[in-house]
Amino acid sequence: MHVIIIGAGTGGLALAHGLKRAGISCAVHERDRTRGDGLQGYRVGIDPDGSRSLSRLLPPELFDTFVATCARSGDRFTVFTEKYKEVLSLTGFAKSGADGAGSERSVSRMTLRQILLTGLEELVRFDKVFTRYDQHPDGTVTAHFEDGTSATGDVLVAADGSHSRVRRQYLPHAPLEDSGLIGITGKVPLTEATRALLTPQVIDGVNMFLAPGGYSLVIHVMQFPWDERGRPRQGIGASDTELLDAWPGLQFDNTRDYIMLAFGGAARNLPADVLRMNGRQLHDLTVELTRTWDVRLRTLAELADPSTCFPVNIRTSAPIAQWPTSNITLIGDAIHTMTPGRGVGANTALRDAELLCGRLVSARDREVPLMAAIRDYETQMIDYGFTAVRKSLAQMRGSDPVHKPVVGRAVLAGMRTGMRVVNHLPPLRRRMAAAAQQYRGHDRDA
């Protein structure tokens, strides 16, 4: 069996590791031109489920490297007003499993990608922009690339992210929709001066600042492990050398400690050209929008390195019914793009990779026919994948007003009062922390 994987992102590379370990032939075709291409974003939260999938798919030494290069994980989720007044603080998020794999982890996206690319050098083909596929009567499938080359195999896996060209050809009725929310991210170096702008709670977890008009700011402090000589860990994942020479500044620096800012606002309240703005314009926009906020938050917005500011159009897929099974299948954002509030998109891609890998191994070992194995994967994936899509969207739009894109002043005041009440009643706060954890999706082992 030969498996063609389109896309060397989180899901595609994790799947390739699993197949390689199981002795199944595969190749990953990626549009990026080199290993160091492209800005993958800054932070991604890998939850206990994602960590367990990685521990099962990666060679043990590579999983250890992943663990060693994660930032310190916090234990707290705190909600503040834009005036820096705490309204709710929940703890107990740094879960650890008996196998050591099941912990909540904070990772630099660039580091994660470098780790996932390690050991797959001979399997990843860069500069291969997928254009279309053909299915043949003998059960094989051919992927075609922009450079005129092609690859033929027994199974084609779309791991090419939210704008998947494979999905567009295979499931043209599967829609991708704007959520109405725009994000703007930026990085601030963590120094003595910037640390002074943060409270201990802010340093210890994920923090959401809610402002009138539906604006919000998520702050996450990324502190990386230091080696015995007091320097950031180098080696796999550190992009300091080549990339920092090419792009000086913070943008490609994934080993020095920093504060990540993720500003959110309703698209209809932001300038129409926000998605086309450059880093300096986005920086100035967030400074302007935080003008009336607490001076410490305003200062952080001002100190964000403009070269690190970029916009994100938050999109979502819409659930579709199961389709007739064939030798083409999909994993990750290629099939279930979701809004990022619950932080489970990459984790679900890892779950897909683990499940699909297991089903392909069963088919290779002739325990089940190949089509039955793919059907079983898709039946399970459609269920949990689109559940995650629905929960993520519901959290953003309605059932959880914390993530609603626009809330009026009265609603915001009511929400804040409700959170303050919960904050002062420990049993209620504990119940909410437990519900929040389950809601985030740590329900796989339940």
Ligand X SMILES: Cc1cc2nc3c(=O)[nH]c(=O)nc-3n(C[C@H](O)[C@H](O)[C@H](O)COP(=O)(O)OP(=O)(O)OC[C@H]3O[C@@H](n4cnc5c(N)ncnc54)[C@H](O)[C@@H]3O)c2cc1C
Q: Which residues bind ligand X (CB under 6 A)?
A: 6-12, 29-32, 44-45, 128-130, 159-161, 165, 183, 312, 332-334, 340, 343-347, 349
Specify the residue, 140 or 169, whose C-beta has the smaller distance to ligand X. 169
Closest CB 41 distance from ligand X, rounded Å: 6
Specify the residue, 160 or 354, whose C-beta has the smaller distance to ligand X. 160
Specify the residue, 299 or 313, whose C-beta has the smaller distance to ligand X. 313
Specify the residue, 258 or 429, whose C-beta has the smaller distance to ligand X. 258
Specify the residue, 336 or 429, whose C-beta has the smaller distance to ligand X. 336
Closest CB 5 distance from ligand X, rounded Å: 9
Residue 322 CB partners (closer than 8 Å, separation 6+): 378, 379, 382
Closest CB 313 distance from ligand X, rounded Å: 9
Closest CB 19 distance from ligand X, rounded Å: 15
Q: How far is CA 87 from CA 53, 84, 313, in A?
A: 35, 9, 28
Closest CB 356 distance from ligand X, rounded Å: 12
Specify the residue, 123 or 159, whose C-beta has the smaller distance to ligand X. 159
Name the closest residue to ligand X (Cβ): 9
Specify the residue, 110 or 198, whose C-beta has the smaller distance to ligand X. 110
| Residue in the structure block whose two tokens are 């604006």 | 215
Closest CB 196 distance from ligand X, rounded Å: 27
Specify the residue, 2 or 125, whose C-beta has the smaller distance to ligand X. 125
Closest CB 332 distance from ligand X, rounded Å: 2
Closest CB 418 distance from ligand X, rounded Å: 26
Specify the residue, 29 or 429, whose C-beta has the smaller distance to ligand X. 29
Closest CB 413 distance from ligand X, rounded Å: 28
